[in-house]
Amino acid sequence: MTATVARPPRMARTRPPRSVGRLISRWALPVLTALAIGYLLIPVMVMIVFSFNDYQGKFNFIWNGFTIDGWLHPFEWPGLPGSITNSLLIAFVSTAVSTVLGTLMGLALTRYDFRGRGPMNALIFLPMATPEIVMGSSLLTLFIGSALPPLNGVIPRGTFYPLGLQTILIAHIMFNISYVVVTVKARVAGFDRHLEEAAMDLGADEWTTFRKVTLPLILPGVIAAALLAFSLSIDDFVITNFVSGTTNTFPIWVWGIIKNALPVQINIVGTIIFVLAVGGVALSTLRGGGAAPTRIR
Amino acid sequence: MADVAVRLTQLTKRFGDPAGRRSATADGSPTAEGVTAVDHIDLEVEDGEFFSLLGPSGCGKTTTLRMIGGFEQPTFGRIELQGEDVTWLPPYRRNVNTVFQNYALFPHLSVFENVAFGLRRRKVPIAEVKRRVSEMLELVELPGFERRKPSQISGGQAQRVALARALVNKPAVLLLDEPLGALDLKLRRQMQVELKRIQEEVGITFIYVTHDQEEAMTMSDRIAVMNRGRYEQLGDPEVLYERPRTRFVAGFLGVSNLLPATMDGQADGYAAFRLGDGTTVRVPTTVLEDQSGSVAVGVRPEKIRMHETDQASPPGFNSLGGTIVDASYIGVSTQYIVRMADGRRVTVYEQNVERATKSELWKTGEQVVLAWSPDHCFVVEEGGGAAPESDEELNAVA
Ligand SMILES: Nc1ncnc2c1ncn2[C@@H]1O[C@H](COP(=O)(O)OP(=O)(O)OP(=O)(O)O)[C@@H](O)[C@H]1O
Ligand SMILES: [Mg+2]
């Protein structure tokens, strides 16, 4: 976009344009774009820069000089490694489960006409539309309720209560599924059913057709959905805070520690996550662009 | 008698019947709701034949083909492939392959892998896969395209890849659903010839769906002309053109003049029919089948000659007087519209041979006598069945 605007159109040569218009078209968009990108990136920049801060006292707030001390001990703070392990575990498991379930649901909801499909399509948006804080508190109510009469003893202890990794997982899978379904549905909607018929025509049974044709073609959508689920899971705070009990995830740990200290390790872990996320997105964009052109004759 | 490749028995497909029931009634007869896309079709396609299903949009051609391919389950009836009942078998258990209308090439696979897809499913050894795929690409004249993706080839090439992908499996029957529909006229013509060549070369039975009568006529051994879920007539192209049995067939294949008539006795192998303006025309009794009710006598516009007087027309020919109301010069021929005494219009094509320049052509307003051999007549049933076009419309289109 910027490129076409920055270079005045060919017509400009034969007919001199109004100079103000040209000025605007030449400068306004690039400048605004730069501002917008700056606005988005400055917090990240601050985070990265302050991960190299040689700060005084407990709080890493004021710039005091460059050091790589923090980066030499990136996880050295009581409770930090455990919380990161938990976050990663939850993110991986909830992403895997919700991607598989959500993909199948997305396929079913676009493909098949069954009773209750309409309501199902609407319900799938509910977890996204409900305020997180409401979702968190009602999940907490549900989980605690499961340990009280009359449910007490019906559901094995340790499933919903006491709160811990498993309840966080249940919550994350729940909200992730919605996002996966919506993302996958968008991809499946543009899918040509004849391709699957062609595969079956050529001797592929249902499973082979799925493996060789359906999945490769919706894969970019599935990968995008998985990345989204992973990032939603790894930085969820509100819902997790309600259902985590005494288990710490990284965001919960940060929230707990900043009352007493703001160690440089927070910036470092944040930077690592940012770099990995950017890398992941870049990779999936490259793959997605090459592997599955949606153009179908 | 050649072996039967495909036999359809009372094949019926209804859409939109109440959910949960395959058929509202036991024999698939209509209920209040729903569309009958295919209506109790009986059909036998012979081995090695180029068979076409021809008909207007929505007449059920695709649905018939999809049932043979296994993509659609019949509401009623039976499908046999080389004597084996395949009615309820999934597509991957039928020895047929399909060339889809939009080609349906796998966009994520190369041309080679597209063509090899069927062979790989059957675990054919790699070396043989390579050999057969290259042979096939050779046959469809696309060697060297192995590594291209479907998005990197042209429409005509995609069509040929789709053909190769199906043929490489050596199916008993190849189903083609308007495979040339997306191509421009010139390429269509070229591909028609090529398709016919390939069919003769591989000797596989082709069932070809099209709504283009010219395409069906040039390529097919036999054609079934479909209308509203049934076929109205089945035969080789020449019979369909020379002896259409219904108004619909007469109008769908080429242009016809249909003159409502009543039978007026028979003699010497000819039947006499009285037309609306009182003229009597003769028709060989051989073309009479048990047409019942009111009938129309038909004659193709190019079979009619025009003369200035009655005397000029050869003896024994049918003749009919009229006034030229329109003449359009089309280069190879001139098309005239002649109005009869009762107001009916007859279309006549005359080759621009004897009268070649504009000044020599017949003029609007001239009185003429139309003459044609009785052997060029056919008789269709009037009334029942949908006429695709009325005479007036025919004249307007032609
Ligand atoms: N899945 C479906 N659900 C309901 N009706 C259908 C379905 N598929 C086809 N039909 C109807 O069945 C009839 C026959 O359709 P079909 O696709 O076989 O026509 P066709 O002869 O192939 O026409 P065309 O030349 O336009 O492709 C049409 O009236 C169509 O509307
Ligand atoms: Mg069709």
Could you read off the pLDDT of A138-153 as tens digits, one per residue? 999 999 888 787 777 7
Per-residue pLDDT, A280: 80
Which ligand lies nearest the alpha carbon of B210?
A: 1
Same domain, yes or no, for A63 and A170? no
Same domain, yes or no, for A49 and A90? no
B104 contacts A200? CB cut-off 8 A? no
pLDDT at residue B105 greater than cutoff 80? yes
- What span, in angstroms and rounded, lies between the C-alpha atoms of B221 and B196? 10
Parent domain of A62: 26-67
What are the pLDDT digits (tens) for A176-222? 999 999 999 988 888 888 999 999 999 999 999 999 999 999 998 99
Same domain, yes or no, for A43 and A137? no
Per-residue pLDDT, A22: 80
CA distances from A276 to A227, A280, B79, B133 (A): 11, 6, 57, 43
Per-residue pLDDT, B387: 42
Give residues 187 to 246 of A whose Cβ lies within 8 Å of B.
192, 194-195, 197-205, 208, 212-213, 216-217
Q: Which CATH number goes with the domain that contains A283?
A: 1.10.3720.10
A16: in domain: no
A295: in domain: no
Residues of each domain in chain B carrying CATH 3.40.50.300: 4-242
Same domain, yes or no, for A115 and A230? yes
Greatest mean pLDDT among B26-30, B150-154, B314-318 lies in B150-154
Single residue among A67, A99, A127 that ends a domain in this structure:
A67
Residues of each domain in chain B carrying CATH 2.40.50.100: 254-381
% of residues, chain B, pLDDT over 90: 49
Same domain, yes or no, for A44 and A128? no
A239: in domain: yes
CA distances from B119 to B79, B180, B294 (A): 25, 25, 57
Number of compact structural domains in chain A: 2
More confident residue, B229 or A7: B229
Same domain, yes or no, for A52 and A89? no
pLDDT at residue A18 greater than cutoff 70? no
Same domain, yes or no, for A213 and A117? yes
pTM: 0.78
CATH number of B254-381: 2.40.50.100
Confidence tier at B264 by pLDDT (50, 70, 90): confident
Q: Which residue of A has its CA nearest to B91?
A: A201
- What span, in angstroms and rounded, lies between the C-alpha atoms of A216 and A291? 8
pLDDT at residue B91 greater than cutoff 50? yes
- What span, in angstroms and rounded, lies between the C-alpha atoms of A268 and A264? 6
When the pLDDT of each residue in chain B is averaged and rounded to a whole number, the result is 86
Contacts of A143 (CB under 8 A, 6+ apart): A160, A161, A163, A167, A243
A32: in domain: yes
A3: in domain: no
Per-residue pLDDT, B391: 41
Same domain, yes or no, for A263 and A215? yes
Same domain, yes or no, for A129 and A238? yes
| Nearest CA-CA distance, residue B53 and chain A, Å | 20
A155: in domain: no
Asked if B100 has any chain A CB less than 8 Å from its own CB, the reply is yes
Confidence tier at B20 by pLDDT (50, 70, 90): very low
Confidence tier at B54 by pLDDT (50, 70, 90): very high
When the pLDDT of each residue in chain A is averaged and rounded to a whole number, the result is 86
Q: What residue has token string 């001390």? A: A69
Q: Give the β-pairing of B35-46 and B4-15.
A: antiparallel
pLDDT at residue B255 greater than cutoff 70? yes
What is residue A266's three-state secondary structure? helix
What are the pLDDT digits (tens) for B177-213? 998 887 888 888 888 998 899 899 889 999 999 989 9
More confident residue, A124 or B390: A124
B345-351 sheet: strands from edge to edge: B305-307, B367-372, B318-329, B333-340, B345-351
Single residue among A67, A93, A118 that ends a domain in this structure:
A67
**CATH class of residue range B4-242:** alpha beta
Q: For residues B214-234, give the mean pLDDT.
A: 92
Where are the extended beta strands (E) located within chain B?
4-15, 35-46, 50-54, 76-81, 84-85, 96-99, 173-177, 205-210, 222-227, 230-235, 257-267, 270-275, 280-284, 295-299, 305-307, 318-329, 333-340, 345-351, 367-372, 378-381
Same domain, yes or no, for A62 and A181? no
First to last CA, chain B: 40
Question: What stretches of B15-102 show up as alpha helix (H) in DSSP?
Answer: 61-69
B100 contacts A291? CB cut-off 8 A? no
pLDDT at residue B362 greater than cutoff 60? yes
- Tell me if B273 sits within 8 A of B262, measured CB to CB: yes
Confidence tier at B390 by pLDDT (50, 70, 90): very low
A33: in domain: yes
In the chain, the amino acid numbered B253 is L
Q: Which residue of B has its CA nearest to A290?
A: B108
Q: For residues B273-295, give the mean pLDDT.
A: 83
Same domain, yes or no, for A240 and A129? yes
Per-residue pLDDT, A17: 56
pLDDT at residue B41 greater than cutoff 50? yes
